[in-house]
Amino acid sequence: MPDGTPHEPTVFLQAVIDHPNIEVGPYAYYSPLAPVTDAAAELAPYLYPGCPERLVIGAFAQIAHGVRFITASANHPIGGLTTYPFRIFDMETAGKYLEENAAIGDTVVGPDVWLGFNAMVMPGVTIGAGSIVAAGAVVATDVPPFAIVAGNPGRVVRRRFPPEVIEALLALAWWDWPIEAIRAALPALEAGMWRRSQRPSLDARACSAPAMR
């Protein structure tokens, strides 16, 4: 289990991000190719304190090198005759601009999501729990839980499990368990991948007993 031992340059984001607009769940990590001094600025370069939107990263998210979150405040106005962002240079008059960004909403990465090398997540997107975003994908629309997304624009290639298994895994929500329970369930968690010939060995009935929590 992750115990905080350094694994350069991988960092657990809760330990290195202190940003009023970023919320990070436990054990979510970023794995760049070289150490970074400001993970928040590298991952979300346009998200500044005072912006109306947030970036929410769920527990056990796995973020590869080069991933970028293009949050709402990166947008330029497109309703006028110019896209030049005059208002951001005079924040006292930026009310409408900020309101438009707030309407786009937060960017949310669910628990146990794997974001591959150089993936890009566009403003206001929600990526469901257990999803995989392939290397280089550009995610511009919401992603359902346990989906695999690839391409530009990103599209759902397939779901990782059939609907009834996804429902069971979401009910299981192992990422919310105490770490001791997760540690005890590791053999089942790691071997529970569904195959056509069988249902997963890990399911809500087997692993949600009070003794596990």
Structure tokens at 136: 């280089």
- Mean per-residue pLDDT for 20-47? 96
Output the DSSP codes for 69-107: E--GGG----SSS----GGGGSGGG-HHHHHHHHHH--E
Q: What pLDDT is stored for residue 200 in this prediction? A: 45
CA-CA distance, 130 to 142, in Å (whole number)? 14
pLDDT band at 197 (very low <50, low <70, confident <90, very high): very low
Domain ranges of the chain: 11-160, 161-213
Reported confidence tier of residue 205, pLDDT bands at 50, 70, 90: very low
- Which residue shows structure tokens 């919310």? 176
pLDDT of amino acid 127 = 99
What's the chain's average pLDDT?
86
pLDDT of residue 51: 86
For range 99-117, the mean pLDDT: 90
pLDDT over 70 (residue 187): yes
pLDDT at 106 over 60: yes
Q: Is the pLDDT of residue 79 over 60?
A: yes
Res 97 pLDDT > 60: yes
> What average pLDDT score do residues 144-166 get?
97
Overall average pLDDT of the 45-67 stretch: 95
Tell me how far apart the alpha carbons of residues 90 and 41 are, in angstroms, rounded to a whole number.
22
On whether the CB atoms of residues 29 and 5 are closer than 8 A, the answer is no
What is the second-level CATH architecture of the domain 11-160? 3 Solenoid (2.160)
Per-residue confidence at 85, pLDDT binned at 50, 70, 90? confident
What residues are annotated to the active site? 76
How many whole angstroms separate alpha carbon 46 and alpha carbon 68? 10
pLDDT number for residue 47:
94
Give the span between the Cα atoms of 9 and 86, in whole angstroms. 38
